[in-house]
Amino acid sequence: MLTQIIAHRGSKGTRPENTLLAFQAALDDGADGLETDVHLSKDGHLIIMHDETVDRTTDGSGRIVDLTLAELKRLDAGSAFDPLYAGAQVPTLDEVVQLLIKRNFTGIFNLELKTNKIHYDGIEALVADYFNHHAVPFKLVYSSFYGKSIERLHALQPDVEFDSLFQTKVQNAKRLHAEHVILGYHPDIRWVRLHWLLLPKVQLRPWTVNKERDMRFCYKHRFAGIITDYPGLAHRVRVKV
Ligand code: G3P
Ligand code: CA
């Protein structure tokens, strides 16, 4: 089976990360999957962004948890990447899902709950409730650096695939895999050889695989996937392997 190309925060290398523009570009580049991050706004909306604060990627400041959806929507999430993309908005989870439905996307949608640095009361139940009420054409894969989020979501949606992230201790990943809680593990590409050795039965989807030689390594060894900022490049390299 081909190693899947999963676009990290959309096509992060070529568009403002975690915006609809980035997800559209990833799909245009032939990504097999999309990876993204979810937080909770002050008024309880599921918000797509990587950081806990809006400072780095928008023209605003402050924590997502202290801003309402209306306040988040007024931010410019494009100019910090390139003024060419001025006016790009911070999307909600629903806006991203609606885009994928419109594009009839049937690949992997890897949603990372960003619950490791900040406590979002009830985010797992909100996410589970959202996907329980929306039929989607894609394959949902949850991940989180925070083990409790994975365990909470697994209790709510036992049929969805879960993957562990790098900070999960190897023995915990082994246990979760043996208990069928997780199928995969997402190691940092710099440590992938170690995790390949320690977790031989677990599907690996390393991140962030941006160098051609790392892509070739993952393709050659038939890893389940790579998570990359450059899905277009990853596609061109895969064709040649
Ligand atoms: O899923 C891998 C990757 O997304 C985790 O790192 O910091 O980019 O969310 P980060
Ligand atoms: Ca992520």
pLDDT of residue 164: 73
Quick count: other Cβ atoms within 10 Å of Cβ 66? 11
ipTM: 0.97
Per residue in 97-129, pLDDT (tens digit) is 999 999 999 999 999 999 999 989 999 999 999
> Residue 166 pLDDT more than 70?
no
Q: What is the CATH number of the domain that holds 230?
A: 3.20.20.190
Query: Cα separation of 111 and 150, whole Å?
Result: 11
Burial of 180 (0-12, 13-18, 19+ CB in 10 A): exposed
Q: Distance from the CA of 114 to the center of ligand 1, in angstroms?
A: 9
Q: Distance from the CA of 9 to the center of ligand 1, in angstroms?
A: 8
Our count of domains for the chain comes to 1
Contacts of 2 (CB under 8 A, 6+ apart): 32, 238
pLDDT of residue 211: 98
Q: Which residues pair with residue 33 across a beta bridge?
A: 6, 108
Which protein residue has the closest C-alpha to ligand 1 atom 3?
Answer: 207
Separation in Å, CA 53 to CA 48, 75, 188? 12, 12, 23
**Ligand 1 touching residue 229 (CB < 6 A):** no
Range in 119-128, 168-177, 192-201, 214-223 the model is least confident about = 168-177
- Which amino acid makes up residue 239? V
Supply the range of the domain harboring residue 90. 4-240
Question: Which numbered ligand comes closest to the C-alpha of 36?
Answer: 2
Whether 240 contacts 221, CB under 8 Å: no
Residue to substitute in 188, 208, 210, 229 for testing ligand 1 pocket (most ligand atoms within 8 angstroms of CB): 208
